[in-house]
Amino acid sequence: MTQPVTQPAPLIDPFQRAITYLRVSVTDRCDFRCVYCMSENMKFLPKKELLTLEELDRMCSTFIGLGVRKLRITGGEPLVRRDIMTFFQGMKRHLDTGVLDELTLTTNGSQLTRFAEPLFAAGVRRINISLDTIDEAKFAEITRWGRLKQVMEGIDAALTAGLRVKINAVALKGFNEDELFTLQEWCVARDMDLTFIEVMPMGDLGNEDRLDQYWSLDDLRARLAERFSLVDLAERTGGPARYVQLKETGQKIGFITPLSHNFCESCNRVRLTCTGQLFMCLGQEDMVDLRAPLRASEDDAALVDAIRNAILLKPKGHDFDYSRQVADGQMSRHMSHTGG
C-alpha cells in the first residue's frame, strides 16, 4: 500500500503568525544611488560572500517546501545581477506545480526594456516599480545617477509585455508633496496602481536627515480626501500595504505606514539577504546566518532546522518611531542590504 506523502509543518512564529511570504535580495548592487537607500560611494560586498544563483534557488526552494507561497525578488536592483533570468526561470517550476502562488519583484525600472518579456515568460505577472517623482530634475537629484527616460521606457515595456505594474513612491516632505496629484493622475491614465511609503530610518543618515524627510501618510491621505471620496478596501496582497479606492476614478491607492500606523500584527514575511542572512523583521537588527548550514551539507536537514529556529526568533514588531522628534529605532544597515 502506498504511504501518503506527509507535508512538513508550516512555519509559525511565536505569535502564531504563519510565515508565507519571503523577500529575497539577490544583490546589494544598483545602478542608482537613491538618497534614502544608499550612500553615494557604496562599498559593495565581495562576490564570494554572495549566494550563487544555484544556492539562491536551493534556499528559496527550501522555504517554499516549508509553506512559503509568495516570493518577491529585490536588491539593490535585482535585474543588474548577471544571469538573473536563470533564477527566475528556475523558480517557474514551483508556479507550474502550484506550490508557489506568486513570483514577483521590486525594481527601479531601468532594465525592464530588456527583461519585461522574459520575466512574463518566467511566470511573473505583477511587479512593483520604485519611482518617487516624474520630474526629470528631481529624479536625477534623488537617484543621483538616475535617468528618468530609461525608466519610463521600461515602464512602457512592462505594460506592453502584459505585466501588472504598481508604482511605489516614498513620501518625502518638501520633495514630492507637490506631485501627489500629478503622480496619481499619471498612474490612473496608465491603469497602474500607486502605493505611498513612509520613509524609514535605515542606514547612515549622512546629509539626509530622515526626520526632516518624514511625511506622514495620515497627512497625505487627508490631502487625497480633499479631492476624492476614499473607500477603504479589505484587499491584501500579502504585504504590508493597506488600500483605498478613489471612488471617482476607481483607482487603487496603497499606504505602507511603518511609522504612523505599523502593520506588525499581521506580518507574514521574512527577508533573506544576498549573503544568506535572514532578517525576521525589517526594523530589527536580529538576523540568522543561513549561508553556513546551506554550504555545510548537500542535505537540507540542517538548513531546515536553521530556518525553523530563526522563525522562532521573529519579534512581535519593530521600534520605528518619529513621534519624539528623533529617529528612534534607526537601523545601521542600508535598505539596499536587506532588500526593499
- DSSP-H helix ranges across the chain: 53-65, 84-97, 112-121, 136-143, 148-161, 180-189, 210-213, 217-227, 291-296, 301-311, 335-338
Q: Which residues pair with 196 in a beta bridge?
A: 169, 255
Which among 314, 295, 303, 338 has a CA at the least distance from the CA of 63?
303
Could you give the CA distance from residue 236 to residue 213 in angstroms, rounded to a whole number? 28
Long-range contacts of 184-187 (CB under 8 A, 24+ apart): 184/224, 184/246, 184/251, 184/253, 186/134, 187/251
Give the DSSP per-residue string, 9-51: PP-B-TTS-B--EEEEE--S--S---TTT--TT--PPPGGGSP
Question: How many Å from the N-terminal Cα to the C-terminal Cα in the chain?
Answer: 49
Read off the amino acid at residue 239: G
Residue for cell digits 529624479?
139
Strand order in the sheet with 21-25: 230-233, 242-246, 252-256, 193-198, 164-171, 126-130, 102-107, 70-74, 21-25, 269-272, 277-279, 287-289
Could you give the CA distance from residue 20 to residue 141 in angstroms, rounded to a whole number? 37
| Rounded alpha-carbon distances, angstroms, from residue 139 to 108, 135, 146, 150, 191 | 12, 6, 7, 12, 22
Can you list the domains of the chain with their CATH numbers?
21-37+46-338 (3.20.20.70)
**pLDDT by 10-residue block (mean), the chain, 340 residues:** 65 94 94 73 80 98 98 95 97 98 96 98 97 95 89 98 97 94 97 92 48 85 97 78 94 85 76 96 83 96 97 77 44 49
Which among 62, 143, 102 has a CA at the least distance from the CA of 236?
102
Could you give the CA distance from residue 216 to residue 261 in angstroms, rounded to a whole number? 10
Report the pLDDT value the prediction gives residue 299, as an integer from 0 to 100: 95
Q: What DSSP element (H or E) covers 168? A: strand 164-171
Could you give the CA distance from residue 44 to residue 47 in angstroms, rounded to a whole number? 9
Could you give the CA distance from residue 39 to residue 37 in angstroms, rounded to a whole number? 7
Residue for cell digits 521606457?
153
Which among 203, 276, 270 has a CA at the least distance from the CA of 48?
276
Could you give the CA distance from residue 306 to residue 294 in angstroms, rounded to a whole number? 9
252-256 and 287-289 beta bridge pairing: unpaired
Q: Which residues pair with 105 in a beta bridge?
A: 73, 127
